[in-house]
Amino acid sequence: MSMNHQGRPTSAGELTPSMLPKTFTGNRALDMEEPLIFEVGSFETVGVDLDVPEDVELELGKHARSKPVDLPGLAEPEAMRHYVRLSRNNYAIDSGLYPLGSCTMKHNPRLNEKMARLPGFGDIHPLQPLSTVPGAIELIDELAHWLMTMTGTSAVAMSPKAGAHGELCGMMAIKAAHKAAGRDPKIVLVPESAHGTNPATAALLGYKVVSIDAKEDGTVDFDALKDTIAAHEGNIAGIMLTNPNTCGLFERDIMEIAEAIHAADAYFYCDGANFNAIVGKARPGDLGVDAMHINLHKTFSTPHGGGGPGSGPVVLSDRLAAFAPLPFIRKGKDGIELIETEAQTQDNEQPFGRMTAFHGQMGMYVRALSYMMSHGSDGLKQASEDAVLNANYVRVGLQDLMSLPFGERPCMHEVLFDDSFLKDTGVTTLDFAKAMIDEGYHPMTMYFPLVVHGAMLIEPTESESRASLDLFTATMRDLVMSAQRGDVERFAGAPYLSPRRRLNETLAARKPVLKWTAPDPASVSPASS
Amino acid sequence: MTVYYSKDHEWISVEGDVATVGITSYAQEQLGDVVYVELPDAGKTVAQGDEAAVVESVKAASEVYAPLDGEIVEANEALADAPAQVNEDPEGAAWFVKIKLSNTDQLSELMDEAAYKAFVETL
């Protein structure tokens, strides 16, 4: 045999982690130490070959720019590399399990992307004449039909741009309904496990927020709710309730709550953030809900979390349907009409105003409808069932080692642990989450909801396979056992292996650096000063 | 000088009819690193339970409630520039406000140190 005469070794030498080489570039193989784009590009250059414009007379007068805008000039490959390198440091649903509770980080099917890029949907402009976009309008109407069917409601405001915007829309409809009835109640009830946006929405509309305590089992204390309603008789505008709630538990008293709220001349706003648990299983309209936003970007798989805009249509019950904001679609004898102004409204339509300049997030509508139609009603129902099954699979896989604040009862689409299993280990929920990063997982939601100590809220979604869940629970079990064995080091300094180590939150808050500034202004050439 | 404590984790040190108010060591520990303190203007009248100041930490923003009725006579402006003092010396240099009490009877609703310690134990 005559091979490898070049002295090329075929196995690696021994190298301990402490001997990892310091590199000249700061890069660590594929983990690039990428500067900001302002540091990569130069203000003096342009990356594309543009003709020098002929002499033109400026008509901008005193509005003409006096200084260059200082945009970095990069050639296409440089710009491409910059963003590709940055993207390698990003954790995404396409790179791994993303158990961020309350956020429903499910897979975004690529079919949706293909549909959203069809020219008739992707290349249209909101100011185009209506006659040129009947298909797009019909799609919005078709999506509205699916949303109303799924929720058992009679109207939907499509335009809100995300969850909190949807909440605002729903609560504005409620305010308008009270006003139309000559009432002016001042109080909105919010359970203590609510998303922070609920009280914020109520406060923004000038309501006083009264908090409702939770029972030992993590759900709303219905007796406390009845007492509060009685104590503020005639002054309650509505309740804002999430179901399933942020503890991942179904509010079993929901119909009694709805009845009590309606008996008090108030309205029931349901935060639809957790709709993914009940699609196809229960219709909010049947439960007495008057308004609910639907996060298309969560429940119906449009990209979110830095990956794309949200969309939060709001379904409305009969009692609120008349107050839906402009614009809306009306189906009449002449086909589909787009109602854009108050002048176009009929007697039974009393829009409270308008939430957005145009019609909402068209791209999200296409993706959501594509998701719905490709799943079908049976598929949507199964997705909910699988989401709940997966969360319970994780719960059962971890409940003997971690601590469930409300006992070993089934959860819905997400499972909530508290930090009592870490008691006396010297490891906090934050440390635990950071150690998950070293293991290649995006951490779960932590310290929310506020009703339990050191909360860890895990939502695996229906997208994960059993193998993926098994690896996740095995990793979590390894971490828990490590903490309980006293291996504090694994947690205290974590993450050790990420491109950046743990951030100094205190310094960031006390001395925030909000803007990049050129390191040395003197180095900027006269041409740009 | 007598020191009282409230269930909202404030300490109230009373001399004559002026109460110096701050947050307890337990409170600062729960809040974590304090990054911002908002104080009321002197001369403001407050009723028991009114929001008297705001303290913001890396973890949370919380209101500091007036534990007693009265008038704010002085606020500890130094905290605005050095919020870290709340963590370093919560029951000393990092007092928040001085209130001239209008109803000293309300003091009887507050806890003494032993009662507050026992209260914290229950949390």
Do B84 and A510 make contact, defined as CB atoms within 8 angstroms?
A: yes
The mean pLDDT of A2-13, rounded to a whole number, is 71
The mean pLDDT of A145-173, rounded to a whole number, is 96
| Of residues A231, A225, A232, the one with CA closest to residue A191 | A225
In angstroms, the CA B101 to CA B67 distance is 10
A266 within 8 A of A239, measured Cβ to Cβ: yes
Q: Which residue of A has its CA nearest to B81?
A: A510
Report, in this order, helix, strand and coil percent for chain A, each rounded to 5. 40, 10, 50
A506 within 8 A of B33, measured Cβ to Cβ: yes
For residue B58, list chain A residues with Cβ-Cβ distance below 8 A.
505-506, 509
For residue B35, list chain A residues with Cβ-Cβ distance below 8 A.
506, 509-510
CATH of B2-104, one of 3.40.50.2020, 2.40.50.100, 2.40.50.220, 3.20.20.140: 2.40.50.100
The confidence band for A6, taking pLDDT boundaries of 50, 70 and 90, is confident
Q: How far is CA A355 from the centre of its chain?
A: 20
For residue B83, list chain A residues with Cβ-Cβ distance below 8 A.
510
**Mutant choice from A428, A452, A505, A506 vs B, greatest count of B C-beta within 10 A:** A506
Touching check for B36 and chain A: CB below 8 Å?
A: yes
How confident is the model at residue A17, as a pLDDT? Answer: 62
CA angle A471, A301, A101 (to 5 degrees): 50
How confident is the model at residue A472, as a pLDDT? Answer: 98
Measure B29 CA to nearest chain A CA, in Å: 14
Neighbours of A126 (CB within 10 A): 12
Rg for chain A, CA atoms, rounded: 27
In angstroms, the CA A282 to CA A384 distance is 11
Residues paired with residue A336 on neighbouring β-strands, in sequence order: A331
How confident is the model at residue A286, as a pLDDT? Answer: 97
A212 within 8 A of A220, measured Cβ to Cβ: yes
Q: Which residue of B has its CA nearest to A448?
A: B59
Touching check for B47 and chain A: CB below 8 Å?
A: no
Is pLDDT above 70 for A197?
Answer: yes
Q: What is the SS3 assignment for A307?
A: coil
In angstroms, the CA A223 to CA A317 distance is 26
Note if the bond before A443 is cis, omega within 30 degrees. no
Q: Which residue has the higher pLDDT, A332 or B71?
A: B71
Q: Residues A341-354: pLDDT tens digits? A: 999 999 889 999 99
Residues ≥6 apart with Cβ < 8 Å to A6? none
The confidence band for A406, taking pLDDT boundaries of 50, 70 and 90, is very high
Residues ≥6 apart with Cβ < 8 Å to B86? B23, B28, B31, B34, B37, B55, B79, B94
**Mutant choice from B29, B34, B35 vs A, greatest count of A C-beta within 10 A:** B35
Q: Enumerate the CATH 3.40.640.10 domain ranges in chain A, comma separated.
A: 112-371
Touching check for B83 and chain A: CB below 8 Å?
A: yes
Measure B56 CA to nearest chain A CA, in Å: 10
The type of residue at A259 is E
**In the CATH scheme, what architecture does the domain A112-371 have?**
3-Layer(aba) Sandwich (3.40)
Is pLDDT above 50 for A527?
Answer: no
A295 phi and psi, to 5 degrees?
A: -80, 95
Measure B86 CA to nearest chain A CA, in Å: 13
Q: Residues B77-95: pLDDT tens digits? A: 999 899 999 999 999 999 9
Q: Which residue of A has its CA nearest to B80?
A: A510
For residue A505, list chain B residues with Cβ-Cβ distance below 8 A.
33, 58
Is pLDDT above 80 for A364?
Answer: yes
Could you give the dihedral angle defined by the CA atoms of residues A424, A428, A429 and A433, in that order, rounded to the nearest 10 degrees? -120
B101 within 8 A of B108, measured Cβ to Cβ: no
Lookup: tokens for B88? 């370093």
- pLDDT above 90: percentage of residues in chain A: 74
In angstroms, the CA A66 to CA A399 distance is 65
Residues ≥6 apart with Cβ < 8 Å to A172? A205, A323, A325, A352, A353, A355
Do A509 and B58 make contact, defined as CB atoms within 8 angstroms?
A: yes
Fold classified for A383-501: Aspartate Aminotransferase, domain 1 (3.90.1150)
Q: Is the ipTM of this complex over 0.85?
A: no
Domain borders along chain B are 2-104
Q: Enumerate the CATH 3.90.1150.10 domain ranges in chain A, comma separated.
A: 383-501
**Mutant choice from A505, A507, A511 vs B, greatest count of B C-beta within 10 A:** A505
For residue B59, list chain A residues with Cβ-Cβ distance below 8 A.
447
A457 within 8 A of A246, measured Cβ to Cβ: yes
